Amino acid sequence: DTGVSQDPRHKITKRGQNVTFRCDPISEHNRLYWYRQTLGQGPEFLTYFQNEAQLEKSRLLSDRFSAERPKGSFSTLEIQRTEQGDSAMYLCASSISGSRETQYFGPGTRLLVL
């Protein structure tokens, strides 16, 4: 068990470009979550999957954001036409669903939009 991994760890892009992040969860975990964390704040929920189904999306997730988990394993988060306000740390977490569910986080992808 290598834990949750995310790639890339850092991304610098210019405003208007598209970016895609990848998350590989712990192998037996059926749930996968995306959060966004800005400087000095706690993480905020963006969306989550149970297996390959996307079950909930936050109102924070504008139409420029899309997430997939095509085979119920890894997930991608794409941001189209990036804006400076998208600069943040994007965190992925995975878990096994249940009443005592505990999420385990990856190291995050830090995005800077110039």
Partner 1 sequence: GNSVTQMEGPVTLSEEAFLTINCTYTATGYPSLFWYVQYPGEGLQLLLKATKADDKGSNKGFEATYRKETTSFHLEKGSVQVSDSAVYFCALSEPRRGSSNTGKLIFGQGTTLQVKP
* Three-class DSSP category at 71: coil
- For position 74 contacting partner 1 by CB under 8 A, the verdict is no
Position among 1, 2, 14, 40 found at the interface with partner 1 (CB under 8 A): 40
Report the residue from 48, 75, 79, 82 that binds partner 1 according to the rule CB under 8 A: 48
Residue 73 CB burial class (10 angstroms; 0-12, 13-18, ≥19): middle
Using rule CB under 8 A, residue 83 touches partner 1: no
Residue 27 contacts partner 1 per CB under 8 A = no
109-113/10-13 β-pairing: parallel
Query: Residues 6 or more apart from 77 whose CB is under 8 A from it?
Result: 20, 21, 23, 34, 46, 65, 66, 67, 90, 92
Nearer to partner 1 among residue 78 and residue 101 (C-beta): 101
- Determine the interface stretch with partner 1 among 12-20, 59-67, 72-80, 88-96 (rule: CB under 8 A): 88-96
CB of 46 to partner 1, least distance (A): 9
Residues near partner 1 (CB under 8 A) = 4, 31, 33, 35, 40-45, 48, 55-56, 91, 93, 95, 97-108
